[in-house]
Amino acid sequence: MYGLKWAAICLLISVRTLIYFRRIFRGVKMIKLNHLTKGHFFLNCDLIERIEELPDTVITMTNGKKLIVSESGEQVVDEIIKYRAKILSTYRKGTEIDAE
């Protein structure tokens, strides 16, 4: 009986935490990059496996897909750092991130 109550409490805490983070990060866009020829797009930086600077910058995703972007590797890394810093500072303040 005690185990069942403990499991229910843990589930309730997990659901509340999920709702809290969903509320905080609602409307968040990922990093904004530019295709070499097609215009801009938003990329989930958590799915990047590696960034290579051949003549062009090639981003390899965790699923093996490769994207060629006009930004340099350093610019992509800077965008990732800014994105994660924004999330961290927002989490520490306990406020919502503004959708841009």
The domain segmentation of the chain, as residue ranges, is 28-93
Share of the chain above pLDDT 70, in %: 61
- 33's torsion region: left (phi>0), alpha (psi -120 to 50) or beta? beta
pLDDT tens-digit map of 14-55: 655 655 555 555 555 588 899 988 889 889 888 899 999 998
Share of the chain above pLDDT 90, in %: 34
Taking the alpha carbons at both ends of the chain, their separation in whole angstroms is 49
Which residues share a beta bridge with 48?
A: 61
Band (86; pLDDT cuts 50, 70, 90): confident
On whether the pTM is more than 0.95, the answer is no
